[in-house]
Structure 1
């Protein structure tokens, strides 16, 4: 999988060198073209993990950026208006993540989102305690984390 990723990066850099345009959008286009070329060359191979994970990683990054911007706007709006809309609360979140790496990644992603903070992890490592700044519905928040961050993250890692 690492070999295919490095080859994809090499193809993207070759694309940038051939076009002579050193912009992120051009690099991204070269990465997508390289991904397509590698997929065409390796579609009969048994190991397709790279070609399954890259779209999931890109989807996770876009989802995280969307949630990040949404949370930032919510906190910024609350700061600049005279009335506070905060409804703080602590949520007991049961995790599907089990390994140390999975728990660490999930807690980091949740903590990076403004308005949420990981307070503690249970002794048996099955529950996260999350402080939420805008908690309107506890069950909806748990579903949002479970179907959003955790599901997407575990699809990439596992």
Structure 2
């Protein structure tokens, strides 16, 4: 987190020195600040910061991909004359154990069309998910575990 603050300060300093506070110039300052932090990584943790940035970006791209795929799947399901769906709730065993990670996973699942996080067990080891088509819960569990949950663990641990 401290590296991100330093990166923002370097971007603002770049805008001040160059005399232009345009969005393009601030983005250039942010990129230059990230490059500086990667060179001076020891005292400010620049290496870990850039690695984490890449992993969070990878998680965001995965979410956008899943969003597009599930939105099209739900649209096709709704447009079919006969809806061959089996809605249901399944239990997803959690590997993530921090509150932030559980909340992020539940929100990513809820924001994806066709699925909804319903509840978390009291011991925080199970997430209950409602799916528009729950005909094969094993496939849904595997997709969540190998997708969102794995990327969250990579990015925030």
Tell me how far 1:90 sits from its aligned partner.
1.8
Task: Find the aligned partners of 2:37 and 2:62 in 1 and give their Cα distance.
Answer: 25
Q: TM-score, normalised by structure 2?
A: 0.79
Counterpart in the other structure of 2:76:
77
Residue 150, structure 1, aligned to residue 149, structure 2: yes
Cα shift readout 1:117-141 (whole Å, capped 9, x = no counterpart): 1222222221111111123432221
Structure 2 unaligned segments of length 5 or more: list them.
none
Aligned positions, number: 154
Task: Find the aligned partners of 1:27 and 1:67 in 2 and give their Cα distance.
Answer: 30
Matched position secondary structure for 1:86 = coil
Task: Find the aligned partners of 1:107 and 1:137 in 2 and give their Cα distance.
Answer: 20
Tell me how far 1:59 sits from its aligned partner.
0.6
Task: Find the aligned partners of 1:128 and 1:107 in 2 and give their Cα distance.
Answer: 8
Are the aligned partners of 2:70 and 2:113 in contact in 1 as well (CA < 8 Å)? Answer: yes
Q: TM-score, normalised by structure 1?
A: 0.78
Task: Find the aligned partners of 2:151 and 2:7 in 1 and give their Cα distance.
Answer: 23
User: Judging changes above 3 Å, is the alpha-carbon distance between structure 1 residues 77 and 11 closer, same or farther for their aligned structure 2 residues?
Assistant: farther
What aligned pairs does 1:15-30 form with structure 2 within 5 A after superposition?
22=23
Cα shift readout 1:22-52 (whole Å, capped 9, x = no counterpart): 46xx86665444322321232x458343122
Are the aligned partners of 2:37 and 2:44 in contact in 1 as well (CA < 8 Å)? Answer: no
Cα shift readout 1:47-106 (whole Å, capped 9, x = no counterpart): 343122111111111111111111111112222332324232221110012232222221
What aligned pairs does 1:90-101 form with structure 2 within 5 A after superposition?
90-101=89-100
User: Judging changes above 3 Å, is the alpha-carbon distance between structure 1 residues 73 and 18 closer, same or farther for their aligned structure 2 residues?
Assistant: farther
Task: Find the aligned partners of 2:67 and 2:20 in 1 and give their Cα distance.
Answer: 33
